[in-house]
Amino acid sequence: MTAPEASRPAPAPGDPHPTVELKSPEPGVPAPAPAPGMAVRPDVVAFRKVTKCFGEGPDAKVAIQDVSFVVEDAPDRGELVTIVGPSGCGKSTILRTIAGLKPHFPPTSGEALVFGKPVEEPGPDRGLVDQKYSLLPHLNVLDNIAFGLRLRGMPRSERLDRAREWVKKVGLEGSERKYPSELSGGMQQRVAIAATLVLQPRILLMDEPFGALDPGIRLRMQELLIRLWNEQQGTVFLVTHSVEEAVYLGDRVFLMAANPGRLVDVLKVPRPGESPEESRRKPWFVNFCQMLLQRLEDVSGAPSELKV
């Protein structure tokens, strides 16, 4: 199933954040042909009717069904896609399919393409910050962050310099020599984020990356992500249980429903040029979050567990 895109009407003068309306895409309208001589850039990620079942027979569980979407390679821009939906609707399954990680990968049917080619295995073009933010227990913070660079063959002094920069960016100065067992959940999460971002993957996959952080650090990490996204102009998929975070960070919000897991709406968000604190107080932002929460309740058939 292709999810309907939400569209925004042209802004009225003086109204930069008009109301969002849902509308189905017009079927059968072909994409415009590229101008003669222009290279065709493959889509960053494309899902074509991707279905994943775990198990077989009466015990089979459909994790996601017929999920289709496209994230285009927008030159000099990139895109940040946020994914929301009730627990068990297949959010992690989508990220891990893009990453090429078993057992979610390969799909049972359908096609998952990255840069125009079917996903076959994990690769350096994709980095996943996992929901469980697994760190290597025998390595300290600095070495955990530098580990991927080591695998890429970067000399020790250079990779430790890069890792130190990231220790600062995620606010862990003073903890460089600590081991994962000596860190709080939120600190471990920041190490996992730094260990992935230091590798500068073209596609960044983040599975509830800020869930264990206290509100102040969460805000800092959200701002950092926006800044990095602007610098690197890559593609980010971020799963969150916070509607507010989805709307603040997302260029588009993918809304999913469960049983079976499926993509039901794709909502375009006006990307705010304001600080999180400013935008969160604006009427457009609050209205958008409430509209999204309402949609979640509609597709869940019950009051949403998600909080604005």
Q: Look up tokens 């994990």; give the residue.
A: 122
Binding positions for ligand ATP, rule: CB under 6 A: 54, 61, 63, 85, 87-93, 103, 131, 261
Closest alpha carbon to 193 in 211, 179, 215: 211
Query: At which residue do the structure tokens 């891990």 appear?
Result: 96
User: Hey, is 76 helix, strand or coil?
Assistant: coil
Cβ proximity to ligand ATP, 68 vs 131, nearer residue: 131
| From 82, 92, 144, 175, residue interacting with Mg ion (rule: CB under 5 A) | 92
Q: Which residue, 92 or 240, is less far from Mg ion as judged by CB?
A: 92
Task: State which residue, 132 or 227, has the beta carbon closest to Mg ion.
Answer: 132
Least Cβ distance, residue 274 to ligand ATP (angstroms):
29
For 169, the enclosing helix (H) or strand (E) is: helix 156-169
Kindly state the tokens that stand for 196: 């992935």
Closest distance to Mg ion from the beta carbon of 196 (Å): 16
Which C-beta is closer to ligand ATP: that of 52 or that of 218? 52
Beta carbon of residue 17, minimum distance to Mg ion (angstroms, whole number): 30
Q: Which range, of 14-22, 91-99, 168-176, 291-299, touches Mg ion by CB under 5 A?
A: 91-99
Instruction: Please check whether residue 163 is in contact with residue 198, taking contact to mean a CB–CB distance below 8 angstroms.
Output: yes
Give me the least distance between CB of 98 and ligand ATP, in Å please.
12
Cβ distance to ligand ATP smaller for residue 94 or 204: 94
Residue 124 Cβ vs ligand ATP, minimum distance, rounded to whole Å: 24
Residue 63 binding target from Mg ion, ligand ATP, none, CB below 5 to 8 Å by type: ligand ATP
Question: How far apart are alpha carbons 200 and 84 in whole angstroms?
Answer: 24
Strand-pair partners of 117 = 114
DSSP states of 109-162: EEEEEETTEE--S--TTEEEE-TT----TTS-HHHHHHHHHHHTT--HHHHHHH
Task: Write out the H or E segment, with its range, that includes residue 195.
Answer: helix 185-197
Which range touches Mg ion (CB under 5 A), out of 42-50, 84-92, 95-103, 181-189?
84-92
Nearer to Mg ion, 64 or 225 (CB): 64
Output 171 or 211, the one with its CB closest to ligand ATP. Answer: 211
Give the single-character DSSP code of 27: T
Nearest distance from C-beta of residue 286 to Mg ion, angstroms = 27
* Among 24-32, 89-97, 185-193, 286-294, the segment contacting Mg ion (CB under 5 A): 89-97
Q: How far is the CB of 61 from ligand ATP (least distance, A)?
A: 5
Q: Which CB atom, from 167 or from 204, has the smaller least distance to ligand ATP?
A: 204
Q: Label residue 128 exposed, middle or buried (CB < 10 Å: 0-12, 13-18, 19+).
A: buried
Q: Left (φ > 0), alpha (ψ -120 to 50) or beta: where does 157 sit? A: alpha
Please, which of residues 271-290 interact with Mg ion by CB under 5 A? none
Beta carbons of 70 and 46 less than 8 angstroms apart: yes
- Contact status, residue 43 vs residue 116, Cβ threshold 8 Å: yes
Query: Shortest distance, CB of residue 128 to Mg ion, whole angstroms?
Result: 12
Which partner in ligand ATP, Mg ion, none is near 159 (CB below 5 to 8 A by kind)?
Answer: none
- In a 3-state reduction of DSSP, which class is residue 40? coil
Q: Rule CB under 5 A: which residues touch Mg ion?
A: 92
